[in-house]
A and B are shown apart, each in its own frame.
Chain A
Amino acid sequence: MNRFLSVTMGVAWRSAHNAFTNPAFLLPSLMFPLFFLAAFAGGLSAIGNVPSFDYEPGYTAFQYVFVFIQSAAFGGVFQGFAIARDFENGFAQRLMLAAPARGGIIAGYAVAALLRWLLTAAVVTVAALIGGMDVPGQGVDLFGLLALGLLTNVIAILWACGIAMRLRTEQAGSLIQMPVFLILFLAPVYVPVDLLSGWVHAVAKVNPATPVLEAGRSLVAGAPDRVALALAILAAAILVMGVWARTGLRSAERAGG
């Protein structure tokens, strides 16, 4: 256990250090969510006037939840780029050689991703509040939203680990981000699911991201709904992605890193 923890802390420290001291890595993960918040909440606020759009806290809060969850997902994706880079330039081999408990490598990357995202989440939340977001939810509700974000971040990093460790090249970037992008954007991004129509409505109804977004929005509104379902979906996804990441690590080990 000690070896696992020491590997985790070592990898986490190095990844976080690289991310926080390198503006080229840190700034995109901060700027993009802010940009999406401004573009969606600012540019599309008129959507809130559509008849049947009845989200009480308003359109800014509606979009804030999406950007919050999206930033959690893409926090994992950006960390995945870093993992792919480590394999491309050979640093991952060094980690595999040195680490007595290789599972700690995945855990370390996950911890670093989490730390990066917490900063992003704080920045996005402050920006939304400055932008006039109304938050009827209480502390417990907001803690629930944070939990949804944390779990989403873990799922994304495990997904990214699995891809990066299998492909072991920076070219893996688009394969890491595209499915995440699709899952998020085929959910109720701009309007509640009941206001969607056509094929996107059908897809959103079965999209696992939809209950997560709806639960988050309900928590911000102070009227928790389907939170247990969202947490169950996220927990199941963590189990699946955990296996995916672990088998990815095995693949990297077999290939010599």
Chain B
Amino acid sequence: MATQAATEPAPLGLSVGDPGLVEQVYALGRRAFFRVLRQPGQIIFPLVFPMLLFAVNSAGLDAATRIPGFPADDYRDFALAVPFMQGALFTAINAGTDLARDIETGFLNRLRLTPMKALALLAGQVGGVIIISVIQALSYLLVAAAIGVEFESGPAGVPVLLALSILISFAFAGIGAFLALKFGSGEAVQGFFPLLFVLVFLSSSSLPRDLIQTDWFRTVATYNPVSYLIEGIRSLVIFGWDAEALALGFGTAGAIAVVAYTAASAALRRRVGRG
């Protein structure tokens, strides 16, 4: 046996081919999905915390509806967009920390030894957590329905809201993936969470931009892309079909996604190119 092996390769005896990209993405996406499911904290916290904040803030800030020019009679209608944004943050952190853990434990090296395409890793990781974010978004919508929030855009607005929410989660998952691939550490990814959280606050999450009295705050909110993401979702609830708001929402999410995934792909190439 040894002599034979010394002169010719042992037969593989297996049907080994080049796995297609779709199959790789599916395998890695399935793994990412089940990993999130097996970490209850990654499911429960993103479901509960945004809803808790929504309940507290919409009750506590209901008096804001009395400000002249406030665009809704019920603050809950106004505030409903915010949990979708916060859910996207958790998607970002989940995607990032799971990918960072793969780097820290050396699991990424294991994957690199297979014919796996680098794109499959990114797509699979993101795909898995996106499914979780869809579940989150549906939960928020169920809560909204239960408390009587009515969509000015009607039933047709719900799938559009879901689409925008998924696009936002996709974009922020890209940010999480970039942070993981750039820094290779779960702690670094977690360290960015407060910064992302701040971005949500320094936006039109609590008041419409035109009602923000403090000049510097209004300027920050105007330049903050999160404002347009929130306003895009919010428009479907309180205005109906606002083409400009929707265009800005989808456009901003798309732009963030392009930048995030370009950066993530570059970081992935750099990381895969070294040990």
Binding site for B on A (CB under 8 A): 24, 28, 31-32, 35, 38-39, 41-47, 49-51, 53, 174, 182, 185-186, 188-191, 195-201
What is the CB-to-nearest-CB distance from A44 to chain B, in angstroms, rounded to a whole number?
6
Q: Report A-chain residues with C-beta under 8 Å of the C-beta of B56.
A: 185-186, 189, 200
What is the CB-to-nearest-CB distance from A64 to chain B, in angstroms, rounded to a whole number?
14
How many angstroms between the C-alpha atoms of A186 and B216 in the bound complex?
Answer: 28
Q: B62: CB under 8 A from chain A?
A: yes
Of A44, A53, A199, which is within 8 A of B206 by CB? A44
Q: Report A-chain residues with C-beta under 8 Å of the C-beta of B5.
A: none
Residue of A nearest to B198 (CB): A35
Q: Are B63 and A47 in contact (CB under 8 A)?
A: yes
Given A43-B206, A46-B212: A53 and B63 interface contact (C-beta under 8 Å): yes
What is the CB-to-nearest-CB distance from B83 to chain A, in angstroms, rounded to a whole number?
15
- Restricting to B121-175, which residues have a CB under 8 Å from any CB of A? none
What is the CB-to-nearest-CB distance from B221 to chain A, in angstroms, rounded to a whole number?
7
How many angstroms between the C-alpha atoms of A189 and B58 in the bound complex?
Answer: 12
Q: Please, how many residues of chain B have a CB less than 8 angstroms from a CB on the other chain?
A: 29
Binding site for A on B (CB under 8 A): 41, 45, 52-53, 55-57, 59-64, 66-67, 191, 194, 198, 201-202, 206-207, 211-214, 216-217, 221
What is the CB-to-nearest-CB distance from B201 to chain A, in angstroms, rounded to a whole number?
4
Q: Are A47 and B67 in contact (CB under 8 A)?
A: yes
Given A35-B201, A199-B59, A200-B56: A42 and B206 interface contact (C-beta under 8 Å): no
What is the CB-to-nearest-CB distance from B57 to chain A, in angstroms, rounded to a whole number?
8
Q: Are A50 and B66 in contact (CB under 8 A)?
A: yes
Residue of A nearest to B56 (CB): A185
How many angstroms between the C-alpha atoms of A53 and B41 in the bound complex?
Answer: 40
How many angstroms between the C-alpha atoms of A182 and B60 in the bound complex?
Answer: 13
What is the CB-to-nearest-CB distance from A203 to chain B, in angstroms, rounded to a whole number?
9
Given A38-B217, A42-B216, A43-B202: A190 and B60 interface contact (C-beta under 8 Å): yes
Q: Which of A24, A31, A190, A191 has the most CB of B within 10 A?
A: A190
What is the CB-to-nearest-CB distance from A201 to chain B, in angstroms, rounded to a whole number?
8
